[in-house]
Amino acid sequence: MNIYIQAAAQISAQEPLSHAWFQHPLPLSERYVRSVEPDYKEYINPMEARRMGKILKRALATSLNVVRKTGINQPDAIITGTGLGCIENTEKFLTAMVRDKEMYLQPTYFMQSTHNTISSQIALHLKCNKYNTTYAQRGISFESSLLDAYMQFELEKIRTALVAGHDEMTPDYFVLLDKINYWKKGEVNEAILRKSDSVGAISGEASACFMLENKKSNLSVCELKGIDILYNPNQKRIKDALEELLGKHNLCIENIDVVMTGINGDKDNDAVYNELERNLFPSIPLAWYKHLVGESFTASGLAMFISAMALQEQVLPASYLYNGSSAIQGLKNILIYNHFQNKEHSFILLSSC
C-alpha cells in the first residue's frame, strides 16, 4: 500500500494559499501571531463568508484549493483535526450566555460552535456523503486524523482522503492561555527561542490541508510512509515505535535525512527534543518550524506542509535548520516528530517520490 500527498494548502503566519514563501519564510517577532488571511472571494461567496468564523473560512479555502488542484471533489474521507474547534463561535455563545444570564440567546453561534462544524461544512460544500469525522486531542489532533485515514487506506476502505488540521487563536483564548504560561512573555525573536531558557512559545494559528490518494501521479508531492501516535511513552517505547515504523519500509534511523521537530523555545518542551536527539538521532540534522508559524494544537499540519515542500523541491532551506547552518539538498526521508507537554507524541514519515 502506498499513500501520496497529491496536493497541499496552508494558511498561517506566512503567505496564505501559497508555497512561494517556503524558500524565504518571514521571521516572527511578536508573541501572538494571527494567520494572514487570503482573499476568500475565489473560494467562498462573500455573502456566505460574512457569516462564517475565521476557522471555517480558512478550512473551506484550503480544502477547495486542494480539491481544485487534484480534481478530487468526492474524497472517500473528510477528516479534520482541531484542538479547539470553532472556538470563536464557542466564545461568542458563552460570552452572551454569561453576560445576559442565559437570556436572549440566538442559536447561530451555538450551531457553528461544535468541533465537527469544519468537516461537515466541507462535506456540505462538496455534497459529499462519505466518511466524515473530527479529532480533538490537543497536540495530536492532526496526527489522529492522519492515522484514521492511513488505516482506512491500509484496510482498502478508501482511495482518497481530505485530511486537515485547523486551529485559530482568539484574543480572549490567547489571554487565558497566557495566564497559564503557554506564551512567551516580553520580546521574542529567533535568538531568544533558540536559547530555550524560559517558559512559553509564540502563539500561532494553523490551517494545513492535504489531499491523499493511493495512486502516484504527476501531481504527487511526496509519499506518506507512516504515522504513529503514542501516549506517555518512555524513551524505549519511542525508540521501539520508531524502529517498527521505519522497519516496515526497510529503513533505519540512519536513513532519515532530517528530523522536523516541534522545538518552540519553551524550555520544558525543548528539553524533550534535546534528550531524544542525544538518545536517538545523534547524527541526524534537526529542523524546526514553530519559530516561523508559532505554536498551536495543530501546528504539526504545517510541519507536514513544509516537509512535503522540502521533498518536492529537494531542499530544506537554512531558515528551518536548528543545528547546522547550510541548506540540506537531496532529501529522501523526513521524519516529523512532535510532542505535546511530553504526553502525546507523534511521528510522521514522509518520503520523496
Partner 1 sequence: MMSERILVTGMGIISGLGYGKQATLDALCSKHSGIGKMKYLQTIHNYYPVSEVPMSDAEMMDSLGISSQTIITRTPLLGIMALKEAFIEAHLDKKRPRRIAFINGTTVGGMEKSEQYYPDFQNTEAYIAAHDCGTSCEAIAEYFDGFDMITTISTACSSAANAIILGANLLKTGRVDVAIVGGTECLSKFHLNGFSTLMILDKEACKPFDAKRVGLNLGEGAAYLVLEKEQHAKQRGVQPICMLSGYANTCDAYHQTASSPDGQGAYLAMHNALENAHLHPHDIDYINAHGTGTQNNDLSEGTAIMRVFNDNIPPVSSTKSFTGHTTSAAGSVESIISILALLHNFIPANLNFNNPMPELSFCPVKDTLTKKMQHVLTNSFGFGGNDSACIFSKID
- Residues of this chain that interact with partner 1 (CB under 8 A) are 78, 83-85, 93-95, 97-98, 101-103, 105-107, 110-117, 119-121, 123-124, 126-138, 140-141, 144, 147-148, 151-152, 154-155, 172, 176-177, 179-180, 229-233, 237, 297, 343-344
Closer residue to partner 1 in complex, CB, 79/316: 79
Give bridge partners of residue 223 from the DSSP assignment. 4, 351
Q: Cβ 345 to partner 1, closest distance in Å?
A: 10
Short-list 254, 240, 306, CA closest to 285: 254
Q: Cβ 195 to partner 1, closest distance in Å?
A: 25
The three three-digit cell numbers of residue 258, written as one number: 532530517
CB atoms within 10 A of CB 56: 23
For residue 337, what is the enclosing H or E element? strand 333-340
Q: What is the CA radius of gyration of the chain?
A: 19
Q: Cβ 62 to partner 1, closest distance in Å?
A: 18
Cα angle: 162, vertex 55, 148; to 5 degrees: 30
Closer residue to partner 1 in complex, CB, 152/255: 152
Reduced 3-state DSSP string for 309-329: HHHHHCEECHHHECCCCCCEE
CA dist 155 and 171 (Å) reads: 42
The three three-digit cell numbers of residue 317, written as one number: 532551506
Closer residue to partner 1 in complex, CB, 58/291: 58
CA dist 187 and 274 (Å) reads: 24
Closer residue to partner 1 in complex, CB, 127/191: 127
Give bridge partners of residue 81 from the DSSP assignment. 135, 165
CB 165 within 8 A of CB 324: no
3-class SS of residue 144: helix
Short-list 115, 59, 105, 38, CA closest to 83: 115
Closer residue to partner 1 in complex, CB, 20/51: 51
Q: Cβ 80 to partner 1, closest distance in Å?
A: 10
Closer residue to partner 1 in complex, CB, 190/228: 228
Q: Cβ 346 to partner 1, closest distance in Å?
A: 10
Closer residue to partner 1 in complex, CB, 233/285: 233
CA dist 145 and 129 (Å) reads: 18
β-pairing, 77-81 vs 160-167, is: parallel
Q: Cβ 180 to partner 1, closest distance in Å?
A: 5
Q: Cβ 30 to partner 1, closest distance in Å?
A: 22
Closer residue to partner 1 in complex, CB, 29/181: 181
For residue 188, the 8-state DSSP code is: -
Q: Cβ 299 to partner 1, closest distance in Å?
A: 15
